[in-house]
Structure 1
Amino acid sequence: MKKLVLIILLFGFLPGLLFAQQASENEVLVRKVADQIIRETILGFQSEDNKTLYKTSAEIPQNVKVHYASKYAGWHYTNGVLNLAMLDLGEYLKEKKYTDYAINHVAFGFANYKTFEQRFKHDVPHYTYPFGEFFTMQELDDFGAMGASVAEVYALDKQPEFENYVLKAAKHLTEERSRLTDGTFVRAFPYKMTLWADDLYMSVPFLVETAKLTGAQKYFDDAAKQIINFNKYLWDSEKEIYWHAYFSDLKRNGVAHWGRCNGWVMLAQVRLLDALPENHPQRKKLIELLERQILGIAKYQNADGLWYQVLDKNDSYPESSCTAMFVYGIAKAINKGWIDKRYVSIAVSGWEGLKKKEINEKGQLKDICVGTSIQNDLTYYYNRPVGLNEKHGTGPLLDAGVEILKLEKSGLYNYKYSTE
């Protein structure tokens, strides 16, 4: 009997022992990060006095105001970024719980948005209540990244309402959004027809997913045009990084080379190149633009492998979300063969810097700049607060982790370039 119990115990522990032997230090860390996000995610609503939790919107009394039960429950562009990262992680590790994270989040939105649409539409600003972004689609970041994640979830779970949402958003994007005369996306604030670097990510991944869903080449063409045009308006050829803004009325850029907006530009480029047909006429130029950005931002990496909140201002703080974005973009470009593998050390140094300086023992990411608008003074960018596992950084960190694991698997993580 004792021998039988011992055998059972050994078999019970064996999968864990095998995982511990096979998983690298980086894989263990990436899993820890993802599992911590899952633990912090509560899909539900909390009353404003935080005394009552409602699992569904149908449970909320008519006169009770609520907020999301956790920062990861919302319909915000950062939730779309995280969903896409979880889907990529689940696919790479063959781990259903990560894929299910995105599927469950999207399903939660579709199950609950109608309550808020009925109660609040047109009464108060859309960003002041849950799921306001879902049905108003006032700005690109209300639907772009989330729409991209809905499209990827639809590929796994063919719910007609998911497809309808993507097609509705695509129609809105292509027929109703504000653009410059050359077709470049702009916003209405802080001044009319203002170009934000962030919006390259808020538009391009969605265009990519819509192209994949519909098979229509025009979405790939529009995405390529956005990247080329954004470069025309935002690239600083002297410093070889991007400005945060372009004011079309003044025909000049803003004041800041903000770290995360440069990260959004890089993420948009790799998302497009990953899906763009090999024979697309703009593919070669797009790879050249990506390589140009990679070599440009490499000049601003500090001794710890991190990048700064304002890239060219080393008296601003090291910021972890843009660092994760650059690690992801560079590692992805190397894994795909878009740039030479000798540049892998830029990504590896960035990842090692995040591990040593920015990820705590729970797998939470520190020093993530909170949401940031466009301002006309550098002081604003210098003084933006940071958060722990703030939602703007967790998706990019997982993105980076997946590509780092691919570098490990290919043997490039420890690649040393030599002329000998």
Structure 2
Amino acid sequence: MKTTTKYITLFAIALGLSITSCKEAKKENSQETVKIEKVVPENLKWSERMMLSEIERFPEATKLDFATKARWTYTPGLVLSACSRVYEQTKNQKYYDYIYDYANTLIDSTGTIATYKLSNQNLDMIKSGDVLLFLYPITKEERFLKAMETLNSQLESQPKTSDGGYWHKKRYPYQMWLDGLYMAEPFHTRYAKEYIEDEAQKQKIYNDVVLQFDLIQKHSRDEKSGLLYHGWDESKEQKWANKETGNSQHFWSRGMGWYGMAMVDVLDFLPENHPGREKIITYLNQFAEAITNVQDESGLWWQVLDQGNREGNYLEATGTSMFTYAFAKGVRKGYLDKKYLDVANKAYTALINNLVSVEENGVVNLNKCCAVAGLGGNPYRDGSYEYYIGETIRSNDPKGTGPFIMASLELNK
């Protein structure tokens, strides 16, 4: 009897070990499966890997920028503009459908844009017009043309400074911000080229576009460093404005990034024979020299550009991605000396090595992005050093992922 009991006990132990072993094997196999299964394939170029990661994070294009409700704003326009370039290279229908979903959701059959108010005269709202410039020639949907016409009409009625500079928003009177050049001018130039038939009107728009660059250079550029201040208040009434010059206090990385991208993108559509073209190329070269002078030895750029060693400052992803794109495109198009391609490659390598991380499932993250920065408003943003370094830092801000995708395409990484 004892012997039988002994065998039963041994059998139970063996069976238990066998079950445990099977469970462990299954667990290991299951873990292996998770590791192998990639939502974003790692054999693709970085442009596609980041774009697919954005689609994974935000399955609905209207929710780009961590939105809870669909809204017409500049950040989806930025990422979808990058997406259109990925689509043009790959012809992957997934990218086209993602772009179309944004416009289809927000523009009704009459061409009315949901959540957009022309009366706000907000330059930020023009940026998503790039989505329509991409879609309309393909779809020929009248509603998209009507929406573009509405956005163009905003620029025709936008309030201006005494010398003709667009106010950034109606609620920010007499103020020009660097951001506004990128939000409005590439759309305005392309719309004029492709949709305005009257030659005199077309030339008037081209002249107005060039004037915006002339004025921001005149009012915001620091002669010593060549860098441009984030904002300029003609009235000099804002608390953030220098009482003599009207300028804000600091050189903000992303502000300069918006400006650089504005120049290289406007030049795509400004005619070769327009006299303003050479001026913008000159401004771009001055920009490139000034930005290169404040590049950190790591290859990245600081949140407050010229104060790298100051406590609290940090190497920031959105501005770095924008500069990389502007330099790479500027060289490819022949606007900038080839030495700036080395600057772009150094910056891009630094982004990949320091600020990009990849999850187990292949999803790509861009880290150390300044979430937002502005001037004035409520609560009041005073443009101080403490303000710029104190704004939220987050991963995968669209103001970084969009330019990162475009930089990746330019450098063919």
1:301 aligns with 2:292: no
Q: Judging changes above 3 Å, is the alpha-carbon distance between structure 1 residues 388 and 71 closer, same or farther for their aligned structure 2 residues?
A: farther
The 5 Å alignment of 1:286-365 reads 286-314=280-308, 315=310, 316-361=313-358, 362-365=363-366
Q: Judging changes above 3 Å, is the alpha-carbon distance between structure 1 residues 376 and 340 closer, same or farther for their aligned structure 2 residues?
A: closer
Q: Which is bigger in relative contact order (C-alpha 8 A, separation at least 6)?
A: 2
1:244 to 217, 227, 230: 230
1:41 to 58, 71, 75: 58
Aligned to 1:388: 395
Task: State the Cα deviation string for residues 216-265 of structure 1 (Å, max 9, x = none).
Answer: 33322221111111111111111111100112112421111010010010
1:29 aligns with 2:46: yes
Whether contact under 8 Å (1:34, 1:398) holds in the other structure is yes
Whether contact under 8 Å (2:107, 2:147) holds in the other structure is no
Whether contact under 8 Å (1:276, 1:283) holds in the other structure is yes
Residue type of the partner of 2:145?
E
Aligned to 1:208: 189
Q: CA deviation at 1:303?
A: 1.9
Q: Judging changes above 3 Å, is the alpha-carbon distance between structure 1 residues 206 and 45 closer, same or farther for their aligned structure 2 residues?
A: closer
1:164 to 146, 150, 155: 146
Aligned to 2:137: 155
Task: State the Cα deviation string for residues 168-203 of structure 1 (Å, max 9, x = none).
Answer: 1211211x2110122111145775312211111121
Q: CA deviation at 1:158?
A: 1.3
Q: TM-score, normalised to structure 2's length? A: 0.78
The 5 Å alignment of 1:18-417 reads 28-43=45-60, 70=67, 73-111=70-108, 131-132=114-115, 134-136=116-118, 138-174=120-156, 176-187=157-168, 192-215=173-196, 216-250=202-236, 251-314=245-308, 315=310, 316-361=313-358, 362-374=363-375, 375-405=382-412
Task: State the Cα deviation string for residues 86-141 of structure 1 (Å, max 9, x = none).
Answer: 111211233332233222211121259999x9xxxxxxxxxxxxx42x23451434
* SS in structure 2 at match of 1:274: coil
Residue type of the partner of 1:33?
M
Separation in 1 of the partners of 2:188 and 2:172?
25
Separation in 2 of the partners of 1:292 and 1:95?
38
Whether contact under 8 Å (2:60, 2:98) holds in the other structure is no
* SS in structure 1 at match of 2:126: helix
Q: Judging changes above 3 Å, is the alpha-carbon distance between structure 1 residues 73 and 388 closer, same or farther for their aligned structure 2 residues?
A: farther
Q: CA deviation at 1:24?
A: 11
* SS in structure 2 at match of 1:182: coil
Separation in 2 of the partners of 1:190 and 1:236?
26
Q: CA deviation at 1:142?
A: 4.2
* SS in structure 2 at match of 1:74: coil
Aligned to 1:56: none
Task: State the Cα deviation string for residues 7-55 of structure 1 (Å, max 9, x = none).
Answer: xxxxxxxxxxxxxxxx997x52222111111111233999xxxxxxxxx
Separation in 1 of the partners of 2:221 and 2:368?
26
Computing the radius of gyration from Cα coordinates, the structure with the larger value is 2
Q: Unaligned regions of 5+ residues in structure 2, if any?
A: 1-40, 197-201, 237-244, 376-381
Separation in 1 of the partners of 2:42 and 2:282?
33
* SS in structure 2 at match of 1:155: helix
Q: CA deviation at 1:145?
A: 0.3
* SS in structure 2 at match of 1:198: helix
Whether contact under 8 Å (1:200, 1:226) holds in the other structure is yes
Separation in 2 of the partners of 1:24 and 1:39?
15
Q: Judging changes above 3 Å, is the alpha-carbon distance between structure 1 residues 337 and 193 closer, same or farther for their aligned structure 2 residues?
A: same
Whether contact under 8 Å (1:144, 1:205) holds in the other structure is no
Whether contact under 8 Å (1:43, 1:70) holds in the other structure is no
Separation in 1 of the partners of 2:203 and 2:264?
18
Aligned residues: 347
Whether contact under 8 Å (1:43, 1:108) holds in the other structure is no
Percent of paired sites with the same residue:
27
* SS in structure 2 at match of 1:280: coil
* SS in structure 1 at match of 2:167: coil
Q: Judging changes above 3 Å, is the alpha-carbon distance between structure 1 residues 323 and 75 closer, same or farther for their aligned structure 2 residues?
A: same
Q: CA deviation at 1:357?
A: 0.8
Q: Judging changes above 3 Å, is the alpha-carbon distance between structure 1 residues 401 and 44 closer, same or farther for their aligned structure 2 residues?
A: closer
* SS in structure 2 at match of 1:372: coil
Q: Judging changes above 3 Å, is the alpha-carbon distance between structure 1 residues 188 and 395 closer, same or farther for their aligned structure 2 residues?
A: closer
Q: CA deviation at 1:209?
A: 2.6
Residue type of the partner of 1:370?
A
Separation in 2 of the partners of 1:43 and 1:279?
42
* SS in structure 1 at match of 2:176: strand
Separation in 1 of the partners of 2:338 and 2:42?
21
Separation in 1 of the partners of 2:391 and 2:66?
25
